[in-house]
Each structure stands twice: as C-alpha cells, then as structure tokens.
C-alpha cells in the first residue's frame, strides 16, 4: 500500500449493489436491500464516535466482503451483524425474516453481553474463542469478523489514543496473522499497515517517505523489467500480465528488524508478479527468468507443487537483477491469483445455491486445531495459555518433510521428530522411542528442515515423556502428550482404588529407595544386555536379579574396567553410565533410580569410538590398520580425513574386551611414526 487513507468515504447502498451486480448480475439483490433497510431502521438512533450514522459501519463491512466476491447471504449477514448485540432485535426475529443461515452467521459474530463484567483481556479471549469455534460450522463468520475489524481500523483515529494501541496490538497479534492463515493476503497487508501506523507512527512515516522518494526509480526499474520479459514471452507465444510494486510498509519494517539493517540496506523491497493462463506456462516463465538473471537458489519456493495450508499457490524466485540487487518474482495462474488475494473467500465467488457443497471441501484444518486447543485449555482453566498457543499457531511458517516412502508431511517451522510422529498418528507419537533423519540417528528434540526424510522408531513399551513438552512445536503434539499423561494418571488412580490402598507418593518413594538400597555388588549372576550392534551375554552383574534388559549408554560408552553405575529407566530396564558421565548431572534429582553395578570377567567385546590424529605421510593409513590387525581387534567402521594442511584425522569404531586392552591398542598406535594423539570420540581426553 502506497499510503493509508484515514478519511471516511461517503458511500451508500447503491455503491454496494453496484459492486455485487458488476460481478454477478443474477445475485439476490432483494435480500441485500431488505437487510440494509432492516439494519438502518434498527440502528436509526445510534451514531458512531465519528458522528456519522451507525449504519455506515455495517455498510462498509458489507462492501469489503462484496469486493472479496462473497455470496449475498454473507453480505446480508454483514449488514445485520450488529443488530442483535446493539439493538432489541433477537436471533429468532432474524431467523424469521432472513432465514436460519443468515441468523447463524450473525450469531457467530455477536458478542456475549454477560462478559461485560470480565476484564478486557478475558473478554477478548472468550469472544475470540467463540468466534473461532463458530467458524468450524461456517468459516464465513470469521470473514465477517475480519471485515468488521478492518473497517474499525480504517476509522481508528476516532478512538482515544490509549484504546487505539490496545486495538492495534490485537490486530497485529491475532487478526492480521489469521487473515494470512486464511490466505487473504490483501486484507492481511492492510491490517498490518494500519496497526503499524498506530503502534509505530514515526517509523511508519519515515519508511513511507523513503519509499515515496524512490517511487519513480522503482517504477522506471519495473517498467524496464516488464519490457524485457514481454519481448521474451512474445517469442514463445506466452501471454501474461506483469505488474510490479514496492512491498507494503510493515513488510519492509519486519525485514529491517529481522536483518538488523537500516532502510538504505534493504534492497529487495521491489517485487514483480506475473500472472498467466496455465500451470505449464508458469514453469516456462520461470525458466526464462533464470536464463536472464542469476537465481539465488536458497530463495526459490515451489508452492504450486506443494501448496501452503491456506491453499496459496505460486512460484517464488529471487534473482540478482540487472542492477546487481535482489529482485523477487511471483509467478501464478489467474485462478491461483484469485486464491492468493481472497484465500478461503474464493470458495464463495457468487456461486449462489452451491455454498453448502463448496463449504464441505474447504480446508479449515487450522480452525479444527484451534477447537482441539480450546477444549484442552478449558480443562486446564488457562485463557492465557489459549492465547499463547493461538498466537504461536497463527505465526507458524511451514516446512515440508518426507516419510521414508516419499509422502510429504507439512509441519510448522521448528518442528521436531516428535511433532512429525504425532502428525502421522497418535499411537506413532505415543510409542516413539527414537528417530532417524536422513538415515542418521538424532535426538528427538532435533529441529527438522524442509527436505528431511524422517523415520520414527517405535516400541510397544515406549510412552510420551513430560520432557517432550519443552521442545515440541505443534499444539497437536502437546495436546496428545497431555492427554496421555491424564490417561496414565487415571489408570494409576484406578489401580490404587482396586487395591484398596490410597495413593501415597511419599510412601511409594520410600519403598523405591528401600528397594534400591537392597541391591548389592553381584557374585556371578549374568543379565541380558543389548548394545548398538546385537544382543549377547554381558559381563555385568546384579545381586538377586536375572533376565533384566540393560544397555550401555552411548553418551559415554563404558567398557570393562570403567567405574560404572546403573540408572533404572521406566519400562526399558537399566542404562549403564560411567560415573564421570556428564549426563548423570541431570539425573541426580532421582537418586532412588540409581543402582550399583560391576563388571565381571568375560570374553565379550564392546564397540568404542576413537580418534587418531597425526601428520599426514605416505602409508600412514596402512600402518594404523596393520597395527590394529596385530592386536587382533575388529574394526567396525573407519573414516579418514585431511582436516588441515599436512594434518590427518582418522575416526574408528573398534571392538575391545576391556579398558586394559584398549590402553594396549592405544599404546601401539601412539608409537606409529607421525601419530600425535589418540582419544575417545566426544571426550577429547588423551588415552594413556
């Protein structure tokens, strides 16, 4: 938007009728005239803060929706949207005069009068919640609400300054992002600029003035680009409309903040939009652009092949333009353009009589997630939690990751394998015990990136961890983790009730501590062990215990000879750590789960990761391999790299029977010519 118009335009019913008729000559104009007359009569004694008749507001809301090409039922509801709240008219009367569908839409945007005694914050939360849940039945409710908020922002100068700030913050935090999530980009841009004007008045005008100074320069540049592209397109007999513009002011401001740069250093404030007839022409035009100017590969997005969740489709590419500065192109078909500008509203393009069928096909996945979120937070009794979750959902950017079979899964930016698991299925999430990303094992809190191939490892003994709540991104995952926790608590409670024993956490803790205290250093009992490669008999023993599943910790990789301790995990046996392992620090809060454990003599072998560094020379690799072969040690994995000039690094996984054998191997390796040091991977401690 080049400027924000703060004056109220004088428009009347004829203006509205003209807009509707120009798009759909067969529209039900009689319904519009009846709704306007009824609203005008109902509000006849009311005026706005500007001094104008109140009817101006619902009329302007209706005009906004008419320009979005919405059906006459929605426009009639917009004209009537305040009569139940601000007059003596009831929903029953509206239903009788205008039908159940119009009344349902009006009810969806009507505020609840009983909320007057609540604080403004709680009132807004409750009203917003009611509005969002109403849209599950009919998404047009939220379109009316957004149009209502847009006109209020256009006339916000009549509000007291303190109230202007509050309204603008709500618009920036809730309504503008919601318009974006519903795909109505034109409405989002105007809402953001209007709120930006209120919240950062001086900064807004500074950016506006600087853009104005460059207006002719930008227009001349865009005209040159249009001329170049038209010549190329004519040769290929491709028809397209090419337009250019400067980005809206809040978008420029956000870029300045994110990149921590002044306006003068923001070069990509220009954008070119190309609209053509067919999808194949979009890709053809993309090829022309990339042959004319060098593309910035990291800035290419194909939203045609993989649309956004708000139905948006376009090709986005940024190139180094003829002036040596970044230049962004958006390429789409006319149908995609209608969806991009009007988003979800494009489903009601004056197709009278077909709205019910169309409504069933509308993508309202965001609104369904909000309904689940609302149910959860009502149970938690936390309105602030609802607002926190809602705002995060609205601001999410998206990434696209793949299952091992190639299925695309959309996730919020910052999502983890746990979010992915719950996105696949609830039970996959509940039984998740590990994950591979691009064939590599990773921690469950790893942040995923677009293009990652994610494989979830599950176990019937697995279950959600409370720690997951600290890093999961999606409200869906949080909801299901908490649901499992509530179910688990209910099962525990029922077990205690059946046993006739009251639940006493302090007593349970004491019993666990007493049981742990009875464990002593073993004599000869062997237990099963599962390590990274296979199951085998272990040389670890525990007094009075048999057939217990344990595993060696991968964080410190203990081997016979190390001073170790066991940690009892819930449902997964015992994990063995070195007593010096840094991971034990975060486990100390549950002392009752530690268990004494010792090594016994055994011929078993254990994988150990070591690093060998040295000055590169001919046959160094061969000498290392020969020395390890002499020690009769198996090499599971070998990797060699030149880390800097003349310096070589070798990473190995070898099998050893004890610490003594490892030290013997290290001693032999250190005597090899040009080897400078040897240490265990991730410890960086020199082995002696």
Q: Phi and psi for 321 in degrees, rounded to 5?
A: -70, 180
H or E stretch at 377: helix 365-380
Closest CA to 681 of 651, 656, 659: 651
Cβ-contact 85, 42 below 8 angstroms: no
The DSSP bridge pattern shows strands 606-615 and 675-680 to be: antiparallel
Which residue out of 52, 86, 341, 447 is catalytically annotated? 86
Q: How many residues does the chain have?
A: 688
Cβ-contact 166, 120 below 8 angstroms: yes
Helix (H, G, I), strand (E, B) or coil at 245: strand
438: region left, alpha or beta (phi > 0 left; psi from -120 to 50 alpha):
left
Angle, CA of 647, 650 and 653, to the nearest 5°:
165
Residues 472 and 19: their CA atoms lie apart, in Å, by 47
Residues 174 and 390: their CA atoms lie apart, in Å, by 8
Closest CA to 456 of 506, 516, 407: 407
H or E stretch at 272: strand 270-276
With residues binned 3-state (H G I as helix, E B as strand, rest as coil), the percentages for the chain, rounded to 5, are: 50, 20, 30
Q: How far apart are the first and last CA of the chain?
A: 70
Got the DSSP string for 16-70? HHHHHHHH-TTS-HHHHHHHHHHHHHHTTT-B-TTSSBTTHHHHHHHHHHHHTT-
Residue 528 burial by Cβ neighbours in a 10 Å radius (0-12, 13-18, 19+):
middle
Q: Where are the beta strands (DSSP E) in 363-487?
A: 398-402, 408-412, 432-437, 440-442, 454-458
Residues 104 and 102: their CA atoms lie apart, in Å, by 5
Which residue out of 85, 96, 323, 514 is catalytically annotated? 85
Angle, CA of 641, 643 and 648, to the nearest 5°:
60
Answer yes or no: 323 catalytic.
no
Cα separation values, 465 from 444, 447, 503, 512, Å: 11, 18, 22, 20
Answer yes or no: 190 catalytic.
no
Residues 456 and 293: their CA atoms lie apart, in Å, by 42
Cα dihedral angle (229, 333, 286, 284), rounded to 10 degrees? Answer: -90
Tokens of 469: 């709540």
By annotation, the residues acting in catalysis are: 85-86
């Amino acid at each position: 938007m080049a400027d924000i118009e703060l004056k109220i335009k004088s428009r009347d019913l004829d203006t509205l009728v003209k807009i509707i008729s120009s798009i759909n000559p067969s529209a039900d104009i009689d319904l519009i005239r009846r709704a306007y007359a009824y609203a005008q009569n109902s509000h006849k004694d009311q005026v706005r803060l500007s001094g104008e008749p109140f009817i101006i507001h619902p009329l302007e809301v209706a005009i906004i929706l008419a320009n979005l090409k919405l059906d006459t039922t929605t426009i009639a509801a917009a004209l009537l949207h305040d009569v139940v709240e601000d007059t003596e008219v009831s929903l029953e009367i509206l239903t009788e005069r205008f039908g159940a569908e119009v009344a349902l839409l009006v009810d969806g945007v009507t505020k609840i009068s009983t909320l007057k005694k609540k604080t403004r914050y709680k009132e807004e939360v409750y009203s917003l919640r009611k509005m969002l849940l109403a849209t599950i039945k009919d998404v047009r409710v939220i379109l009316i609400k957004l149009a209502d908020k847009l006109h209020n922002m256009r006339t916000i100068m009549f509000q007291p300054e303190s109230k202007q700030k509050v309204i603008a913050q709500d618009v920036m935090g809730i309504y503008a992002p919601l318009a974006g999530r519903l795909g109505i980009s034109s409405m989002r841009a105007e809402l953001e600029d209007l709120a930006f004007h209120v919240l950062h008045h001086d900064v807004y005008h500074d950016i506006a003035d600087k853009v104005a100074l460059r207006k002719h320069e930008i227009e001349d540049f865009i005209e040159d680009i249009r001329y170049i592209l038209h010549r190329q397109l004519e040769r290929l007999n491709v028809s397209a409309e090419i337009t250019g513009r400067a980005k809206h002011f809040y978008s420029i401001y956000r870029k300045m903040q994110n990149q921590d740069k002044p306006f003068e250093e923001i070069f990509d404030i220009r954008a070119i939009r190309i609209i053509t007839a067919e999808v194949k022409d979009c890709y053809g035009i993309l090829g022309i652009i990339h042959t004319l100017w060098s593309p910035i590969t990291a800035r290419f997005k194909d939203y045609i092949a993989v649309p956004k969740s708000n139905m948006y489709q376009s090709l986005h590419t940024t190139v180094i333009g003829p002036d040596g500065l970044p230049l962004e192109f958006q390429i789409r078909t006319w149908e995609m353009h209608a969806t991009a500008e009007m988003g979800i509203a494009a489903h009601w393009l004056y197709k009278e009589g077909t709205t019910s069928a169309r409504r069933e096909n509308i993508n309202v996945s965001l609104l369904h997630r909000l309904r689940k979120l609302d149910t959860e937070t009502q149970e938690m009794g936390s309105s602030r939690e609802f607002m926190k979750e809602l705002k995060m959902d609205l601001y999410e950017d998206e990434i696209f990751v793949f299952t091992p079979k190639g299925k695309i899964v959309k996730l919020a930016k910052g999502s983890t394998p746990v979010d992915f698991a719950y996105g696949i299925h609830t039970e996959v999430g509940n039984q998740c015990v590990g994950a591979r990303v691009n064939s590599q094992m990773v921690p469950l809190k790893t942040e995923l990136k677009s293009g990652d191939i994610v494989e979830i490892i599950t176990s019937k003994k697995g279950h959600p961890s409370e720690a997951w709540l600290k890093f999961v991104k999606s409200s869906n995952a949080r909801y299901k983790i908490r649901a499992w926790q509530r179910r688990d608590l209910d099962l525990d409670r029922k077990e205690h009730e059946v046993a006739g024993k009251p639940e006493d956490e302090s007593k349970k803790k004491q019993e666990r501590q007493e049981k742990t205290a009875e464990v002593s250093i073993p004599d000869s009992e062997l237990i099963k062990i599962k390590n990274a490669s296979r199951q085998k008999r272990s040389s670890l023993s525990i007094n009075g215990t048999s057939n217990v599943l344990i595993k060696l910790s991968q964080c410190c990789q203990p081997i016979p000879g190390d001073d170790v301790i066991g940690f009892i995990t819930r449902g997964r046996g015992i994990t063995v750590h070195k007593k010096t392992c840094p991971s034990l620090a975060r486990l100390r809060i549950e002392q009752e789960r530690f268990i004494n454990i010792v090594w016994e003599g055994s011929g078993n072998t254990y994988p150990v990761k070591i690093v060998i560094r040295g000055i590169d020379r001919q046959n160094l690799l061969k000498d290392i391999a020969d020395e390890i072969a002499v020690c009769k040690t198996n090499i599971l994995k070998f990797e060699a790299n030149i880390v800097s000039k003349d310096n070589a690094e070798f990473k190995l996984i070898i099998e050893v029977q004890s610490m003594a054998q490892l030290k013997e191997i290290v001693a032999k390796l250190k005597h090899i010519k040009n080897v400078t040091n040897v240490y265990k991977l991730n410890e960086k401690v020199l082995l002696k």
